[in-house]
Amino acid sequence: MKDILIGHFKERFGRNPSFLARAPGRIEFIGNHTDYNKGSVLGASLDLCVWVAIAPRVDNQRNYFALGRGALVNTSCEVYDRLQGDASWVNYPLGVLVAMREAKLKIPEGFDYLVMSNLPMGAGLSSSAAIELSSALVFLQATNQSVSKEVLVNLGKAAENNFVGVPCGILDQGVSGFGKKDQLVYIDCAGPLFATVPLPSKTHFWIFNTHTKHALVDGLYATRHKECMDAAKTLGVNYLVEVSIEQLMQNKTKLSLNVFKRAKHIVEEIDRVNQMIAVLKDGDLRKIGQLLYLSHQSSELYFENSTPELDFIVATLRTQSEVYGARLTGGGFGGAVMALAADNYSQDLAEVVSETYRKKFGNPLEIIHAITGDGASLI
């Protein structure tokens, strides 16, 4: 991919890039919406990535180009306003520059910038975190700076929260930054503290992308975030991680029905993450899968960030013995389902799911086969 990236850069800008980086997409393995509630979460970095290349310019011009996204976007070094329309994708690298400046880091002046990806957009695999971290790496390299992984992932999170406008937690950037092949990334979001947990061998991820709407900025994500914060405030704590299921049930009448349901999902999901750690150590794939199914059921019934399409896919996957477990991945409200499957699960079996889905909803699914990959790095 490095040679392909260099070739595209040279074709677009007429010269070789000076700095290159890549960052993977991620699967939210389990821990749905637990991150901003300061709970714990498990994620996997993938072998599907975003690649970024830049070369400095001597003027104050910044030129951004994304393969497959249309025209070149030109700005000056003085522009730090959010862009709209077809140029809005530039808000991710631009947000990183703003975050670096606010963190008192040096930022590059003029440059040519190119991004390419084999990571599907809008599939719940966090292409946004991948472009943020790969951009941060090349910007830091261009200014002869190095930072810890913790600082790197916080730059990406700050860009997404404060500039793009999505109130995500640390999951997306944390997994993309700390990922390792054949490992899951465990994040205690109260710290945050990062660790890795071995994933049982001979397991594969299959992602079934509905291409239904998955637009977090539209407000559904922000609404769930607010409902969780409202629940914590009513229960007299800072975050829902401080609440046990027993305490929640004892105080159920203090909460509106919707707020109670959101809190129930979060409190029980945090417990499922802790259960998953123990089950992973035992390597019991069927128990691992059962926790994945329970997580999806909770998203469907209590957090209500699933959709009929996602529920149908999960129900269909349950009928296939080669699938250990499945659940929606990412913020929800559309997007994709993740299945954890044996190594003998095949494209033909995945196509059966897609065809069954097409007969009910009219469109086939995009099928993505992925394995774990290493976290963000310079190349």
What is the set of active-site residues?
172
Q: Say which residues have a Cβ less than 8 Å from residue 57's Cβ, sequence separation at least 6.
A: 63, 109, 110, 111, 112
Q: Supply 284's token pair.
A: 């019991």
Dihedral-angle region of residue 301 (phi above 0 means left; psi in -120 to 50 means alpha; beta otherwise)? alpha
Q: Is the peptide bond before 167 cis (omega within 30 degrees of 0)?
A: no
Structural contact between residues 289 and 338, judged by C-beta atoms closer than 8 angstroms: no
Distances (CA, A) of 140 to 17, 30, 44, 155, 272: 15, 32, 25, 11, 38
Q: What is the end-to-end Cα distance of the chain in Å, rounded?
A: 10
Q: Say which residues have a Cβ less than 8 Å from residue 363's Cβ, sequence separation at least 6.
A: 210, 211, 357
Q: Which helix (H) or strand (E) covers residue 207, if one does?
A: strand 203-209
C-alpha to C-alpha distance for 182 and 271, rounded to whole angstroms: 24
